[in-house]
Amino acid sequence: MMKLVKKYKFTIIAVVLFIILMFGVYQLKEWFFPNEGKAIYGERLVGKVEVSEETYQQVKETLNAKEKVQSAEVRENGRLINITVMVQNDTSLEEAKALPSGLLDLFTDSQKGYYDFQIFVKKEDPAENNFPIIGYRHHNNTEFVWTKDREKTDISN
């Protein structure tokens, strides 16, 4: 056995050094890229409630059928459903805040209890100071909460 070790001692040393080097490279990779290969949201999406593409299509169709709406887009991001609505320039704040009425009826109770909903209402006119507005509904609440109404103020006084 000793003769075998003496005969292949440089090969054994090379193999051991290679194994140590590979272990060191792996540790460096874990140190520089700790979250690689892991879910973006971690454990927060365990027990996820699925929403079908047909439901999202119904939301878009319902919004597009409203008089002041020009376009609507729906995106799911983790536990948040974002709805972006482009309205006509003559839309008032009250009309914009009424847009999500009836939308939540398209979702099941389990979906409403799992997801937060956020609606962005925009106008094409960038000079409109009260827009965009954002409505947010937490999964534990029943109503949307809106950004405060903003008035154009003169701060030169």
Q: 87: part of which helix (H) or strand (E)? A: strand 80-87
How is the chain split into domains, by residue range?
2-32, 53-146
Q: What is the pTM of this model?
A: 0.64
Over 60: is that where the pLDDT of 155 sits?
no
Closest by alpha carbon to 68, among 122, 113, 118? 122
Residue linked to tokens 């939308």: 103
- 55-99 pLDDT per residue, tens: 888 888 888 888 888 888 999 888 888 999 888 888 888 888 888
Cβ proximity of 133 and 124 under 8 Å: no
CATH of domain 53-146: 3.30.300
pLDDT of residue 38: 65
What does the pLDDT average to over 5-33? Answer: 90
Handedness of CA 103, 106, 109, 114 (dihedral sign): negative
pLDDT digits (tens, 9 = 90+) for 103-153: 888 888 888 888 889 999 888 876 666 778 888 988 888 888 888 655 555
